[in-house]
Structure 1
Amino acid sequence: MNWETLSTTNQLKAIIAESTDHPVMIFKHSTRCSISSMALNRLERSWNQDEINPLKPYYLDLIAYREVSNQIAADLGVEHQSPQVLILSDGKAIYDNSHMGISYNEILKIANDLQTA
């Protein structure tokens, strides 16, 4: 899986703008949490960029970049969770889930629905 790293609030603004061209996904990961590591591993094992294209994945280490996580909550109106996955389209969070609710098949369905909309 080819993650793009999210590490600054300026980059977050650019990613939100990018979501007007194609959907993006942000995975917020706590490097100190075993549940977060398990959710990340499950997602990475299932990920198939060819079938989920054009959804672009971004990875946020929220321990190292907590201010970016806080800005996500403020800019997108989504309560902070860890781990958490968000899908953005047209500058808005259209989907979020956390912990064991993070599912590649659900993310794939949303990406496919966006393609046919």
Structure 2
Amino acid sequence: MGVFGNMFKKSSGQKKEEVKQNNINWIPLKTVDQIKAVTKRSHNKPVGIFKHSTRCAISKTVIKNFDQGFPKELNEKIDIFYIDLLNYRDVSNEVGYEYQVLHQSPQFLLINKGEAVLHASHYDITQIDLEKILK
């Protein structure tokens, strides 16, 4: 099931929520070493980083809405990385240091040419118009 396998689970004993379709080609960001590769990659193509807390109801709602509202054709124009904050806090912290963005959760960063050119948190993430930005 990939990245979303555990993302939309409710607490133990409760039924897992259904995710019918993933519009985003999520790339897991699990190591600090990957951040250098993300920065390098951003010189050729913009990169998004989504920081998600799997225990937070707001984060679950935002990531689900972000994915559902994401036009599939944008996967050609941007790579989107995903950080599970509970399992990879060190990676999340390093992203903050690397791109000089104060940690929030959920949070989305747009990296272009090695710099964070946009960042948003909580419900503001769903207001980002990536189609317009990436024209």
Higher-Rg member (1/2): 2
Structure 2 match to 1:12:
35
Separation of aligned partners in 2, 1:109 and 1:63: 32
Could you say which structure has the higher helix fraction?
1
Residue type at the aligned position of 2:114: G
The one-letter code of the counterpart of 1:27 is F
- Does residue 35 (structure 1) correspond to residue 44 (structure 2)? The answer is no
Cα distance in 2 between the residues matched to 1:91 and 1:105: 20
The alignment's C-alpha RMSD in Å is: 1.3
Residue 44 of structure 1 pairs with residue 67 of structure 2:
yes
Could you report, residue by residue, the CA deviation over 1:25-49 in whole angstroms, capped at 9, with x for unpaired residues? 0000000100000000001111123
Residue correspondences, number: 112
- Structure 1, unaligned stretches of length 5 or more? 113-117
TM-score by length of 1: 0.90
Q: Secondary structure at the match of 1:102?
A: helix
Greater relative contact order structure (CA < 8 Å, 6+ sep): 1
* 1:88 and 2:111 aligned: yes
Q: Does the 8 Å CA contact 1:21/1:90 hold for their aligned counterparts?
A: yes
Alignment of 1:76 onto 2:99: yes
- Indicate conservation of the 8 Å contact 1:52/1:111, yes or no: no
In 2: Cα distance, 1:73 partner to 1:105 partner:
20
Aligned sequence identity (%):
38
Aligned to 2:123: 100
Matched, 1:60 2:83: yes
CA shift, 1:61, in A, is 0.4
Q: For 2:104, what is the secondary structure of its paired residue?
A: coil
Q: 2:133 aligns to what SS in structure 1?
A: helix
SS at structure 2 position matched to 1:103: helix
SS, match of residue 129 in structure 2: helix
Uncovered stretches (5+) of structure 2, i.e. residues with no partner: 1-23
